[in-house]
Chains A and B, each alone.
Chain A
Amino acid sequence: MNFSSSFFAGILWTALLAPAVVGFPQEQNSQAALAKQSSIVFSGTVSQLGAVSFAGVPQSTQTIVVRVDSVLKKPPAVSLKKGDNVTVELKDPSAFQQGTQATFYTEGWIFGSGVAVKELGHDFNPGGASAPGAGRGETAPGYTQEQISDQELRDRLNSADFVVIGRVTDVHRWTVPKSATPHRVSEHDPDWHEAVVQVQSVLKGAQVKGNKVVVRFPGRNDVAWVHSPKFEKNQQGIFCLNRDQTSGVPTEKVGGRQVSVYTCLGHGDSLPLSDAPRVRSLLKK
């Protein structure tokens, strides 16, 4: 996750000026973890208890309305700025009253004429001070939906059979043999292609014989495969691979021997080389 400098400044500010809350390194770490886990982070002032800020959000004793003082993190698609009223569903509403100022770590919930979020955590902002960035009315992008979060990437790395750094040496169309499962015509037909990847380094999994793997990927630009990586010759990157359980033909003869074939299908399964330190770090945890 690429956080904006203002977001890190926010974390730093909170750590320095709110020692009662986050005065210890351990707590700072959990704060950072919370921030990474959150899709929307903002500072604001509670204006109503047991209320909601727009129609379509279920009102309960756990919902409050918070006026935004500054936005610290949000996806670019989300419209949220200083002065907006946000509905927050709290974990424990007893800790809040009108006028309470806090930084809210949240995940998106309902999007309508306003934004409703669910609280993952919060920091109180003592003395009525607001977090850095307040007053600028800014949005703090630092996040795009195409970027994969640490949590999502960690999950993906855990589920991968292999994680390799490599270079694509060949790409060609692959036709399902007639002996395999009957071919079905569907608008979601993947139009399978194969990429031969020269493995330069194995980050997860056993060493690969011959240092080459065959990776199947959908060539079709159908909605079913729109987030699947599309390989190109000479492409270099980090690839999260799983044994092929999708095409119906999990092995292939390469150089006279039968080898397993892999797939690379999901969002975040193909990462740029610049992500290597991040991937190595997540694999260690």
Chain B
Amino acid sequence: MKALAAFWMRLLAFTLLALIAATVLFEKQSPPKTSIGGDGLPSAGTLGPVYASPTQVKLVDLIPASLSGEANQDSEPFLAIQTANPQVMVASAFTPNPVSSTGNAPVYVSQDGGSSWVLNAITPVPRMTCDITHAMPTGENHPRGDLHAGTLACAASITLDESESNDVSSSAVMNVQSTRSNVDQPFVRALGISNADHIYVGVNDFNQPNGRTATVDVSVDGGATYKSFSIEARNNAGQDGPSVRPAVAADNTVYAAFFGWRKFNGKTATSDVVVVRDDAGGTGPNPFQALRDPSDKLPGRLVVKRVSIPWSNAPTLGQERIGSTLSIAVDPNNSSTVYVGWADRGRKGDIYTLHVRRSTDRGLTWSKADLPHTTISNATNIALAVANNGVVGFLYQQLSGGRWVTHIVQSHDGFATVQDVILANVPANTPVQQFLPYLGDYDYLLSVGNEFRGVFCANNSPDLADFPQGVTYQRAADFNTKTLTDGSGNPVPVSIDPFYFSVPVIP
């Protein structure tokens, strides 16, 4: 009898201890009202079929505490990481100047590896950009530079500025190095070369003759001068699609992908997905002609031919518009391996379907079908990146069950096996869109060291259930009542915010 009583007492004590331990652990993993410390990272809650070890994910809402009262649609994010010091990063979104309708449009700056961000109004565009991308190589050796940006200013006309900042923490407005109108969707990549960064800006340039609008602006002198090269060699529908995406490897191999529109009827573009390559950093007189398609011997390899891409400049995929999502990524240490991803009207019933293909011979041949696990229905905002160990990262946002679900997928074997981590799973019907794009015409993913870092936009309701990996809010938020406040206790409506994330690269 005594032995039985002792057993039950020991069991009770053990249970109590276990409960206390579990409570402590749970509290450590749950953010307090507004945030958790930058280094107090929660464990991944959603793991793919292959890797069962916990994933340390950092996820941060970029809106600073001092702008807690804002309710803008801060959509279409982008990210630049300084190559020499990855603690320094610049992010952007459709965030207006917070105090003036004529002040400069801002960027977000972090100097602590993404744990905290400040907003600094240094772009050359008044109030708010209507497209901005950037890169931050450090060939010119500025500790908080060199940020190279391509921005569109949209006032009476749409104007591209290609500009530079030597110090993103200063109040100096970025120096405009090149400007022209009648172009669309600048997309900046860069390679740090001592004293003269190489900069590649994909643009859809309506100034190009014969409607061959897919263009790469190349600077080999840190942006002091640019040359524009049309990379479309074929007849088209009077223009190409908006997305023109360069990718740069350390050995000076530069790829670019674009949509070669062959027909356009106002609702659907019949398009080739084209990849061009240059082996000398775009420095020759006729760059981007290293790849030719066997079908017509013209520059530019046709990865897929004549796919139907729906074009809708109205809410179509949830509250988002669709028509041009495209990404290309090259292995930084093996420029023979390159991935390209896009969306088209895939299987019947799907609104917009993602696909990823791969080449392992410098773009000469491509996988005949989508790589495994990469045909994704009703999804957009594809962003690919390849880490130093060859692991490919695949960021996308999928409309599923009335929610926008943001995935970061990794694979070391061409997606035969994957780790799929859900970063956010948020309502798709709130907030109501203020303008298009709702989340963005793109998001972004980069690799640095043993991390994938990226940005995406999402409903900012402070609800832990929406962020399975945990989240840090800089802005005032109460996760218990799931409300945003202005810092003085007054409620602030839910809006779209940009989020920064970092995930470790899988082995």
Contact = CB atoms under 8 A, between A and B. Distances in A.
A79 B169 contact: no
Interface in B241-269: 242, 264
A176 interface: no
A246 interface: yes
A78 B204 CA distance: 37
A110 B118 contact: yes
A112 interface: yes
Chain A interface SS verdict (over half)? loop
A20 B323 CA distance: 65
Contacts of A224: 130, 152, 154, 158
A165 interface: no
A148 interface: yes
A149 B103 CA distance: 12
B127 A111 contact: no
A152 B101 contact: yes
Contacts of A145: 96, 98-99, 101
A267 interface: yes
Interface in B197-241: 204, 206, 211, 238-239
Nearest to B184: A186
Contacts of A226: 434-435
B171 A185 contact: no
B94 A187 contact: no
A265 interface: yes
A188 to B, nearest CB: 6
Interface stretch (A9-17, A55-63, A206-214): A55-63
Given A56-B109, A187-B323, A227-B127, A108 B100 contact: yes
Nearest to B485: A79
Contacts of B111: 55-56
A188 B184 contact: yes
Interface residues of A, number: 56
B101 A112 contact: no
Contact of A187 (B112, B242, B488): B242
Contact of A110 (B119, B152, B264, B436): B119
A111 B119 CA distance: 5
Contacts of B155: 265-266
Interface stretch (B40-48, B50-58, B64-72, B298-306): B64-72
A115 interface: yes
A169 B192 CA distance: 58
Contacts of A118: 171
Nearest to A152: B102
A79 B311 CA distance: 40
B66 A265 contact: no
Contact of A265 (B68, B156, B323): B156
B310 to A, nearest CB: 13
A15 to B, nearest CB: 25
A188 B155 CA distance: 12
B179 interface: no
B101 A223 contact: no
Interface string A106-119: 01111111110010
B101 A56 contact: no
Contact of A55 (B112, B158, B313, B437): B112
A112 B169 contact: no
Contact of B441 (A78, A107, A187): A187
B435 A221 contact: yes
Nearest to B237: A185
B171 A267 contact: no
A98 B363 CA distance: 65
A184 B154 contact: no
A147 B184 CA distance: 30
B145 to A, nearest CB: 13
Contacts of A111: 64, 66-67, 98, 118-119
Nearest to A226: B435
Contact of B158 (A57, A112, A188, A191): A188
A180 interface: no
B116 interface: yes
Contacts of B117: 56, 112
Interface of B: 64-72, 75-76, 94, 96-103, 109, 111-112, 116-121, 127-128, 130, 152, 154-158, 169-171, 182, 184-185, 204, 206, 211, 238-239, 242, 264, 311, 313, 321, 323-324, 433-437, 441, 474, 476, 486-488
Interface of A: 39-40, 54-58, 75-81, 89, 107-115, 118, 137, 139, 145, 148-149, 152, 155, 182, 184-189, 191, 220-227, 242, 245-246, 263, 265-268
Given A111-B118, A188-B154, 20 more contacts: A39-B100, A40-B99, A56-B118, A57-B169, A76-B486, A77-B72, A89-B171, A110-B118, A113-B66, A113-B116, A149-B100, A149-B101, A182-B211, A187-B313, A187-B321, A187-B437, A221-B436, A222-B130, A223-B75, A223-B128
The 9 A-B residue pairs whose C-beta atoms are closest, nearest first, are A79-B487, A112-B118, A224-B154, A108-B99, A39-B99, A56-B118, A77-B70, A226-B435, A224-B130
22 contacts: A39-B99, A76-B486, A77-B70, A77-B71, A78-B67, A80-B487, A107-B100, A110-B118, A110-B120, A111-B67, A112-B65, A112-B116, A113-B116, A113-B118, A114-B65, A187-B242, A187-B321, A189-B313, A222-B313, A223-B75, A223-B436, A224-B154
